[in-house]
Structure 1
Amino acid sequence: MDTGLQDKVVVVTGATANIGRATALAFAAEGARVVPVGRDEEAGARVADLARERGAADVFWRRADVTVAAEVTALVDAVVARFGQIDVLVNNVGGNAVVAPFVSTTPEQWRADLDVNLTSTLLCTHAVLPHMLAAEAGRIVNIGSMSALIGDPFMAVYSAAKGAVHAFTRVLALEVGRSGVTVNAIAPYGTVPEDFAAETSAGSRFRPGTGLFTDAEASRAEERAVFRRNTALARQVARPAEIGAAAVYLASEQAAFVTGHVLQVDGGVALT
């Protein structure tokens, strides 16, 4: 299948670990010009090298904190200066400030969850969208979550923030569709790295020994078990590459008539 992504300029935020890493590599395999974005220089260099190995037409690693407006502006300016365009934006950055009952959380933790999951998406989209509208073409793919659709106990603000990402996706699709830009989202469930040591970055929630989820798994396993659900399949978790493949589809020419959609990659967990 010819995805039409050869030489397209693809910006992937949070590209140093897990879903973002796999997504950047999936676009690389399509011959795109890939811009992996993250905060961990060492992990970013590894992803950039792998993207070249996978067949990327070009790789432009950029360090940026996409919750900070000035850094997002600098990022987009640098990409446009180098390539003259941005064809695809994958808003992948996400995470959790805390895994705990809502009643015991703080406003500072709420703001952190909202910033990394929602504000980052708004900032990056706002900075990239004028270039897509001027070109009358573009693909925006937002990484949401099944948490937004079914809710995860102890992750109330995260679930709410991802719900806002889904709503933003639908509304923006209505606003920009006639300008040649499609806007879609992916709602993954239970996506974990296949190799935790190799596929995580310094700030990853799955980082062995320091990540929020790996720490919770080790120290609060009974609490964590409350929001585990069964899929309809034998396998209970998604692989990062499966989310990357979904992003490639939504950015491809084959998905030109798909917009405002939230694609569930959940193993049928919503059915159980």
Structure 2
Amino acid sequence: MRTGLAGKVVIVTGATANIGRATALAFAEEAARVVVVGRDAEAGARVVEAARERGAAEALWRAADVTSEDEVDGLVADVIGRFGRVDVLVNNVGGNAAVTPFVSSAPEQWREDLDINLMSTLRCTHRVLPHMLGQGGGRIVNIGSMAALIGDPYMAVYSAAKGAVHSFTRVLALEIGKSGVTVNAIAPYGTVPEDLAGETSSGSRFHPRTGLFTRPGASRSEERAAFRRTTALDRGTARPQEIGAAAVYLASDQAAFVTGQILQIDGGVALT
């Protein structure tokens, strides 16, 4: 498939681990100019090196906390200053403040879940969008979640935040449909790195020592079991590169007539 992504400037947030890492490398394989965004500089350097090995026209590490408006402003200003444009924005940053029943959750956890999953998407899109509109086109790909569609017990606010990402995707696609900018989302289910040590960063929920889902005693077993669902296929989780491939498609020339869609990559979990 000819994607037309060679030389395009692609920003991937949360690109140091799991889905973000795989997405950055997928664009690298299309010879794009990839901006790897995250907070863990050591993990970021590994992704940049891998992106160059995969054929990226350029690969740039840019440290930024996308929960900070000032840091998002600085990130986009630096990318525009260096490349003069942004062709693709992948709003991948996401995570969980806690896995707990809503009744015992705390407002600070709600705010953290909303900030990292929803507000980061709004901030980055709001800052990049004027440039895309000015250049007459672009692609925005938001990483949502099947949790937004079927709900994950003990992750009520996370599920709600991802639902808002899906709604935002549809409405923005409608608002700017005549501009040449498409807006789509991907709803993955249960995407787990195959190499926890090599494909995670210090802030990843799958980091083998510090991750919310993997560190010893991170979550009570009965709570973790509650949001494990049965897929229609012979494996229970997605692979990060499968999400990256979907992002490449939605950003490609081949998807120019696709907008406002939520692409489910769920192994048929919604069917079971």
TM over 0.5: yes
Distance 1:185 1:216, change over 3 A: farther
Q: How does 1:61-80 map to 2 (within 5 A)?
A: 61-80=61-80
Maintained 8 Å contact 2:207/2:215: no
Aligned residues: 272
Q: How does 1:1-272 map to 2 (within 5 A)?
A: 1-215=1-215, 220-272=220-272
Distance 1:130 1:224, change over 3 A: same
Query: Which amino acid in 2 is paired with 1:30?
Result: E
CA distance in 2: counterparts of 1:74 and 1:238, whole angstroms: 33
SS at match of 1:90: strand
Distance 1:122 1:7, change over 3 A: same
Maintained 8 Å contact 2:48/2:61: yes
Maintained 8 Å contact 2:212/2:219: no
CA distance in 2: counterparts of 1:100 and 1:215, whole angstroms: 16
SS at match of 1:228: coil
Q: CA RMSD in A?
A: 0.9
Q: Offset at 1:210? A: 1.2
Query: Which amino acid in 1 is paired with 2:96?
Result: N
Structure 1, unaligned runs of 5 or more: none
Maintained 8 Å contact 1:205/1:214: yes
Maintained 8 Å contact 1:100/1:155: yes
CA distance in 1: counterparts of 2:91 and 2:216, whole angstroms: 26
Structure 2, unaligned runs of 5 or more: none
Give the structure-1-normalised TM-score.
0.99
| Structure with the largest fraction of helix | 1
Greater Cα offset, 136-145 or 218-227: 218-227
Maintained 8 Å contact 1:90/1:142: yes
Distance 1:245 1:217, change over 3 A: farther
CA distance in 2: counterparts of 1:17 and 1:3, whole angstroms: 24
Query: Which amino acid in 2 is paired with 1:10?
Result: V
SS at match of 1:246: helix
Maintained 8 Å contact 1:10/1:87: yes
Maintained 8 Å contact 2:166/2:262: yes
Percent identical pairs in the alignment equals 77
Q: For 1:71-128, what per-residue CA distance to the aligned partner results, in whole angstroms no more than 9, with x for missing partners?
A: 0000000000000000000000000000000001100000000000000000000000
SS at match of 1:60: strand
Q: 4+ residue runs of structure 1 moved beyond 4 angstroms?
A: 216-219
Query: Which amino acid in 1 is paired with 2:7?
Result: D
Q: Offset at 1:218? A: 6.3
Maintained 8 Å contact 2:212/2:218: no
Q: Offset at 1:139? A: 0.1
Maintained 8 Å contact 2:213/2:219: no
Maintained 8 Å contact 1:216/1:224: no
Distance 1:76 1:219, change over 3 A: closer
CA distance in 1: counterparts of 2:157 and 2:220, whole angstroms: 20
